Amino acid sequence: MKRPLSGDVAPATGDDKEVKKVKRTEGDKEEDNRTAENSGAFVYFDENLLFEVLKHVDARTLAMAGCVSKQWHKTAQDERLWELICSKQWANTGCSEQQLRTVVLALGGFRRLHALYLAPLSKPQPCSTSSSSSSSSSSSSWPAVPKVIRSKPQSRLGKDEVHLSLCLMSISCYEKMNFNKRNR
């Protein structure tokens, strides 16, 4: 486990390698990447506890947390966390949790559902189309978000919006399947 301070290693360019070796011997207990750095007060963040903490954050923070490090990424990918986030957003889906979970997991999971279909719904739309056309729902452009949602960015989604999102997700799922078959 111990590494020699001055290397038997070929004299490399300089001080960098030696400095690295010194650091390694100091932290030779934990040679993993994850915990090698901690000369500071910080304790190794157990994955289970990270999971517990991430249960309490919102969608955006969870996505950010997934970009922090590999360990955080692995924890932030957990479908249960995204299921929590999605369920907070919708009021009543008209079916049981278990049914919904089965369907969503079959279609690609809560994380994808949120990123692709729910997040755009809860953001105010950029005014690319004139807002006066919101009354006549243009059938061509699906993301014509009604004014109501625009004024309250984080409102809870109703049954219809949830079902619509699930429909879109299943359509894209089937589209991919059909393409595969056509190519054969």
Partner 1 sequence: MASSSKTITVVSSDGDEFEMTMKAAEQSKLITHMLDEFGVSDKVPLYNVNSETMAKVMEYCKKHADHEAAKEEDGGAAIGAGGEEELKKWDDEFLKVENGLLFNIILAANYLEIKSLLDSSCQAVADMIKGKTPEQIREIFNIKNDFTPEEEAKLRSENEWAFQED
Residues interacting with partner 1, by CB under 8 A? Answer: 33-34, 36-38, 40-43, 45-46, 48-49, 52-61, 63-70, 72-73, 115, 119-120, 123
Least Å from the CB of residue 150 to partner 1: 14
Instruction: State both tokens at 64.
Output: 């950010």
Least Å from the CB of residue 40 to partner 1: 5
Least Å from the CB of residue 76 to partner 1: 10
- Distances in Å between the Cα of 17 and the Cα atoms of 2, 7, 27, 69 are 16, 9, 16, 24
Instruction: State both tokens at 3.
Output: 């590494």
**In the complex with partner 1, which residue's Cβ is closer, 9 or 28?**
28
Backbone angles phi, psi at 102, to 5 degrees: -60, -45
Instruction: List all residues 6 or more positions away from 134 whose beta carbon is below 8 Å from its beta carbon.
Output: 144, 145, 146, 147
**In the complex with partner 1, which residue's Cβ is closer, 1 or 41?**
41
**In the complex with partner 1, which residue's Cβ is closer, 20 or 55?**
55
